[in-house]
Amino acid sequence: MAAANFIPRTSFPAPTLPRAYFLGHHAKAIRKMREMTASIDLVYEVRDARAPLSTRNTVFDSIIGAKPRIVVYTKKDLSAIRSEVFRVWHPRGDYCIVNTHDHTSVKRLVNMSKMLCDSRESFFSVKVMIMGMPNVGKSSLLNTLRHAGVGRRKAAKTGALAGVTRNISSYVKIHEDPDILVYDTPGVSLPKTIDADTMLTLSTIGSINIGLVDPTIQADYLLYQLNLVDPSGSLYVKYSSPTNDVEEFLTSYCLRMHRLSKGGYPDLLGAATHWVDRWRKGLEGRIAFDDFKNPNAYKEWEAMHDEQRRRERGRQSDQKFRVA
């Protein structure tokens, strides 16, 4: 299909998917966070800058309450979303965009935290808790903060897949004079996501167990999103001409990457896994999910989830009434 005549899809058919990835250690972590909140002065709520809406967990709102919060968008170097979008979404300026591979990018976050220290009457250290969904970069953020602030090596394990951190850490000092102490926490998923698109996004970026979604569906969804970011198909032009057909793309990918099974047939399943993983690791370029071109997307997302919570409370009230 010629690039000049190519028209990308404007919607993606919702496949049948599980709507949750909520594990036992997620529930345990939430209970522990609630217990610790009283002694916490500040929260870093971490989201993936490639999927800033899908990686927001509304469960944290009830835990954080009125505590000061800085929304930290990680993986800036992998995101195709412009900084101006985040400025519109956060008019109060209570956010920070970071690249955890670059020490200079976390300085603003440290300075924002120090401002809280300066406004306190107490001379005690400031205690910070990091919260976020799985694999959004919490532990990488902590390690970069620690190395940039006090020159020490990493304090938390990191990995390319969800679920590396399983327990709340002891405190890690990221700054001296004033002392800023940070607690890392396990990634916590929503008990239930609102739609299939969110599950597809979380699976594609590796924020849930990637085995929950068929690799070919992940590849198809990634192809759909790449075409939305750049309808010319330039983001994958080295493998294929612009297309909406994932089988056509994967066949071309196999031939270009020499991923053939016995008999010389294209290994479409292996190609899907390989291609998505390269994007997940940032080896193919920048990507963006969610309705990032819409300046009202953040408010619309909140309104949608508020309505979902109202319906859920209504169902619970009906159940209590019927039991009574």
Confidence of residue 308 (pLDDT cuts 50, 70, 90): low
What is the model's pTM? 0.84
In the predicted structure, residue 131 carries a pLDDT above the cut 90: yes
24-183 is classed CATH 3.40.50.300:
yes
Compute the average pLDDT of residues 165-175. Answer: 70
Residue 294, pLDDT score = 75
pLDDT at 104 > cutoff 60: yes
Residue-wise pLDDT tens digits, 273-284: 999 999 999 999
The verdict on whether omega for the bond into residue 52 sits within 30 degrees of 0, i.e. cis, is no
The per-residue pLDDT for range 18-41, each reduced to its tens digit, is 777 767 778 888 888 898 888 899
Q: Which pLDDT tens digit goes with each residue over 250-260?
A: 999 999 999 99
User: For residue 116, which of 174, 41, 46, 181 has the smallest C-alpha distance?
Assistant: 41
Cα(175)–Cα(131) distance, rounded to whole angstroms?
19
Domain with CATH 3.40.50.300 in the chain: 24-183
169, pLDDT greater than 70:
no
Q: How confident is the model at residue 113 (pLDDT cuts 50, 70, 90)?
A: confident
Q: 150 or 229: which carries more pLDDT confidence?
A: 229
Q: Is the pLDDT of residue 324 over 90?
A: no
